[in-house]
Chains A and B, each alone.
Chain A
């Protein structure tokens, strides 16, 4: 692979990761916490209605996990393409 092709392939994989992770980001916050809140509220976990829990707790936990997953994926990707340092 030429350096240019390598950079292109790396970028493509990066974009794929970003799109997948942002889809999850959208689903937990705008999906579970807002759009489908009322439906999820019929499910209860302890004292929490599930939609309410996603809006005020769950989505924040997922956000933190998403960034650390991204960090791991990208560190691996950097190694694969020899971009790590």
Chain B
């Protein structure tokens, strides 16, 4: 008779993936049915009574996308120290959010970010500019998520990427359209649990294997478990320099660029509409502050583990393949070779794998995404752990996609239809409009997922840069500078976005010249990824200058500002 462990071993990776993905999807659908939205308030802000912990978990899942889950550790493992721009950039923004934005926007008590911009700057022009920014940011971001869903499906379940995108669309469609923000919030709570478990289990296994320490955050600063007494990071620094790469702990980006990218990502994070709206769903101002803290705490669990995973994976990979005969490579190497994510060309025909920094001699190209996806296989972990990573990747991509789709649909149904086009629309009519826009948004996102525009790689730079260049200054000035008026805010947003788009188009896509301009031509040596920091400063300067030459906002607007600075009496988010 087969023992139980043998039985578990016998279930293939693919079957485990079907089981785990099936179970998690069933949970999401169950939650969606249980939490249907019956009013616009439930659809836009989950009824406004979400507890700080539930909101913190939902925010964390909303925030951590396919890029955080699959991409980040891989990027860090190839970038070394430079990877810190993502680690600090995508966490430090929450400090800004908690201290400068969330409590006041909650007190303001409306449904969307364009709501705040439109009311605070008493202008439909400002509202429309804000809607355009929100749509631009959210669509660029969501295209990448749907693609992520497709990729995870295709790699683990061996279906076509497009089929994967369509399955993902149907799931999101179901709970976003049915439940609105309410459905999204509670599925995101479940998705956080799935994704964090899926990320931590392999990390802990590998940390024990390599350093004997079950805490990855400590393990990667510890000694190797092989008894040599060498620190893991020293070993990796040694391996890297031996192969001609920069020392892992040093990095190779310039100081000013590291500074600018970190700042652009932090400010961009604080300005992303799908993150900001999460704070409209809690009951009181103090809950908004607290749930920002909880969200960051839960995000930090993954973000402090990712750099450890990066170091484990990089060391493991170099040791397994470098200078080894190609005929002896392990099974996972062959498997990922068939997907084209690992390619080996034996340039000098010696049958050995030369993995070196010098491109003329390097024979191995490894896609960065593999570092998380293949990590459990590289470390020989059990099949169910490998399948768990697939379920986690899907949870991360779906939760973020749903949050973004809600921003898109509420921008259309609330900010455009209700506030500008037809203010007399009934509650019921608006709810129907919201659902129809959600369906439309899912279809557009799915289209981009199936036919990804060739600029998907630039999505991060673009979405964060635009958020940094538009919303962050307009909202901060709206709260902290009573005299800021509509002329200043609109001018600042338009110039900020304009210059950001120009810079990306010129220096990232190379559409304005025959070839992509060289790095030497970057302004102040700042890359397109970091330019959001410059565009934000320009927005602030333009806003304040224009404001000085135009008249102060009306008395009642100044009263709104005084009112949002006082935390009590937030009441419920309202439609009027």
Please list the residues of chain A having a beta carbon within 8 angstroms of any beta carbon in chain B.
7, 10-11, 14, 18, 21-22, 25, 29-30, 33-35, 37, 41, 45-49, 52-53, 55-57, 59-61, 63-64, 66-68, 70-71, 74-75, 78, 83-85
Contacts and interface: CB of A to CB of B under 8 A. Distances in A.
B286 A59 contact: no
Contact of A56 (B84, B95, B290, B297): B84
Contact of B231 (A21, A46, A53): A46
B74 interface: no
Interface string B93-119: 011001110010000000000000000
A21 B95 contact: yes
B530 to A, nearest CB: 12
A49 B568 contact: no
B566 A7 contact: yes
Nearest to B100: A18
Given A30-B259, A52-B81, A64 B297 contact: yes
Given A53-B221, A57-B217, A25 B290 contact: no
B84 A33 contact: yes
Please list the 5 inter-chain residue pairs (A to B) with the smallest Cβ-Cβ separation, ordered nearest first. A47-B231, A55-B84, A67-B293, A48-B221, A47-B221
A11 B563 CA distance: 11
A48 B307 CA distance: 12
Nearest to B248: A52
A47 B258 contact: no
Contacts of A46: 221-222, 231
Contacts of A45: 221
B292 interface: yes
23 contacts: A21-B95, A22-B99, A34-B259, A46-B221, A47-B222, A48-B221, A49-B233, A55-B87, A55-B88, A56-B84, A56-B87, A57-B217, A59-B91, A60-B300, A64-B297, A67-B293, A68-B293, A70-B98, A70-B289, A74-B289, A75-B286, A85-B567, A85-B568
A63 B91 contact: yes
B20 interface: no
A53 B296 CA distance: 19
B558 to A, nearest CB: 12
B227 interface: no
Interface in B296-334: 296-297, 300, 303-304, 307
Interface string B69-84: 0000000100001011
Nearest to B52: A71
A27 to B, nearest CB: 12
- The secondary-structure label for the interface of chain B is helix
B95 A22 contact: yes
Interface residues of B toward A: which range?
Answer: 35 or more
A49 B262 CA distance: 20
Contacts of B91: 59-60, 63
Contacts of A34: 84, 255, 258-259, 262
Contacts of B232: 47
Contacts of A47: 220-223, 231-234
Interface in B521-576: 562, 565-569
B249 interface: yes
B127 interface: no
Contacts of B300: 60-61, 63-64
B452 interface: no
A33 B474 CA distance: 29
Contacts of B284: 85
A71 B289 contact: yes
Contact of B562 (A7, A30, A55, A63): A7
A67 B94 contact: yes
Given A18-B100, A56-B84, A78 B568 contact: yes
A29 B98 CA distance: 17
B565 A11 contact: yes
Contacts of A60: 87-88, 91, 300, 303-304
Interface string B349-373: 0000000000000000000000000
Nearest to A37: B81
B92 interface: yes
B177 to A, nearest CB: 34
A71 B128 CA distance: 34
Given A35-B255, A55-B81, A48 B233 contact: yes
A15 to B, nearest CB: 8
A63 B95 contact: yes
Given A61-B300, A75-B286, A83 B223 contact: no
Contacts of A18: 99-100
A56 B87 CA distance: 6
B167 to A, nearest CB: 34
Which of A14, A35, A49 has the most CB atoms of chain B within a 10 A radius of its CB? A49
B286 A78 contact: yes
Given A47-B231, A57-B217, A83 B566 contact: yes
Nearest to A14: B565
